Amino acid sequence: MSMELKVWSAIVIASIGYGTTGVATRAALNAGVPPIGLAAIRALLAASVLAGWFLLRRRRVNRARHNLVTGLVSGVFQLSIPFILFTLAYQYASAGFVGLIVALMPLGIAIIAHLLLPDEPLTGPKVIGLTVAFAGVGILLMSGDSGLGTGGQPVLAAVLTLGAVASVSFATVFTRSRAGTYTPLELTLMQFIVGVVIVGIVMLVSEGMPGAISTWGWMLILYLTAVGSLLPTVLYFWLLSRVTSTKTALVGYVTPLISLVAGVLLLSEVIQFGIVIGGAFILAGVVLTDRAERRIARSAAG
């Protein structure tokens, strides 16, 4: 298999994992699993699986200071903060709504990469893409549509999701700037260990220990751990170590569409007018930004 095919396979698989996370999260919340408890259990299970794998393979984590700092930053900004904010956002809007806001991640990465990485400038065409995309967010919020039909709180859901997007964007650029100093599995393990500590503390303070969870709730938690957390996260870091952070963000292009379709099919979520129009602007802005990035890459190669 060629490297190009491996890269695109990783992008598609990671997108499916992340895209179905919203539906599974909303289903788990509907099954009575507390939101922060859900995030903490996911982090604990994922960390346990990875730690067991390292023990069985008798592999050691590189504990050089540089590597530990990368793991700490990733654990805080790539996992802990997004886990909490995303899970809370799904209480107030549909998986499709949240997924469309998540589509802004490539743009967030482009902005932060411009500030931190000298080889990924924010050009005029990228600014146009950003403007179009954020206009879509404005349309989405002004419409008042949450994708739940009734009872949603789209503004609160958007604020929570945008906070998570900003956090992940920073972590993506930071880890990209240190590519080659870690392996994807090492960084994923450190990330989840940090996540267990931080999210666990937040859970104990805000919710206490979770009560009894139904069989269906546990099935959803296991799905979220394996398909929604471990697999896409390992693939995401693998991509970061081999391609630009902006190309890695292509995962964000497919994810919202998967979230939207899965939410309608599996949870009877509603595709409302504001979501269609706002989503179209958001995705158009993302595409414009991607085209600008490709032109820059071609010029650099030339």
Q: Alpha-carbon dihedral of residues 92, 227, 285, 273, nearest 10 degrees?
A: -40
215: number of Cβ within 10 Å:
8
Q: What is the pTM of this model?
A: 0.82
pLDDT at 75 over 80: yes
Mean pLDDT is lowest, of 5-14, 46-55, 250-259, 275-284, for 250-259
pLDDT of residue 107: 82
pLDDT at 216 over 90: yes
- As a whole number, mean pLDDT of residues 195-222 equals 93
pLDDT tens for each residue of 164-178: 999 999 998 888 888
pLDDT at 275 over 90: no
pLDDT at 19 over 90: no
Helix, strand, coil tally for the chain in percent (to 5): 80, 0, 20
pLDDT at 296 over 80: no
Dihedral sign of CA atoms 194, 244, 102, 18 in order? negative
- As a whole number, mean pLDDT of residues 104-123 equals 80
Burial of 135 by CB count in 10 Å (0-12 exposed, 13-18 middle, 19+ buried)? middle
- As a whole number, mean pLDDT of residues 146-166 equals 89
- As a whole number, mean pLDDT of residues 113-117 equals 82
**Mean per-residue pLDDT of the chain:** 86
b or e along 150-177 (b: 16 or more beta carbons within 10 Å of the residue's beta carbon)?
A: eebbbeebbbbbbbbbbbbbbbbbbbbe
